[in-house]
Amino acid sequence: MKFENTSVMNFEGAFRGMRNPKDSWDISDSWTDESGYHIGEKDMDLAHRLIAAGSEHRKFMRQIFVSVDIKAPLYWWKEMDTYKIGTTSNSCSTMHKLTAYPITLESFETDDYHPELLDVSGFIDMLEVMRQAYLKTKNPLVWKELVRWLPSSWLQKRTYTMTYENLYRIVRQREFHKLSEWHRFIDWAHTLPYAEELIFYEGESPWPQ
């Protein structure tokens, strides 16, 4: 599982909008310089109060956007597809590119694979034979069989966009999941700007003033 080309956008817009309900822009203390956006102490205090107040109050979290390329197995994508609201993904196509590259062990999720428990080399060889047969014959029936027997450990790359609010919910719902991929996803989330202060914030705060 890999995370590449991560970018986080619109901190400035999100924190400016965060102060719209009280017209309190004059006390905002965040700033931007050549190294990026810096959240001031007063703005962070308000952000924490809004986060603690509930999803209907922390709307600014929905305006901090994340884009990332994720290469993950189909069985993980099946669970990630649960999160449809506020997210968009654009995937590499199995339909168009399945037969474009040799099928090897590296085509599948193997980060915690234990070959002593299961030898999959013969199965992978079978898939590669079908791939080569399709390239020679262009027979759609062969292609259909290749798709039919493709295991859910097949790695698929998607460019995925989401918000800090999406991440706030995902990391809490998947923290203790059996799949190790969710732990790697959460580890990646920890690397995002102000992740500890916003996405992983757990403190209790009084109602914002």
Domain boundaries, the chain: 2-89+156-199, 99-149
> What value does the mean pLDDT take over residues 55-59?
95
pTM of the model: 0.91
Query: Rounded to a whole number, what is the distance in angstroms from the first to the last CA of the chain?
Result: 43
The C-alpha angle with vertex 170 and arms to 58 and 3, in degrees rounded to 5, equals 115
> What value does the mean pLDDT take over residues 42-69?
96
Closest residue by Cα to residue 149 from 119, 126, 133, 132 = 126
Residues 2-89+156-199, CATH architecture: 2-Layer Sandwich (3.30)
Q: What does the pLDDT look like over 162-197, one tens digit per residue?
A: 999 999 999 999 999 999 999 999 999 999 999 999
DSSP collapsed to 3 states, 159-176: EEEEEHHHHHHHHHHCCC
Which pLDDT score, from 0 to 100, does residue 102 have? 96
**pLDDT > 80? residue 131:** yes
Could you tell me the pLDDT band of residue 16, with boundaries at 50, 70 and 90? Answer: very high
Q: Which residue has the higher pLDDT, 209 or 29?
A: 29
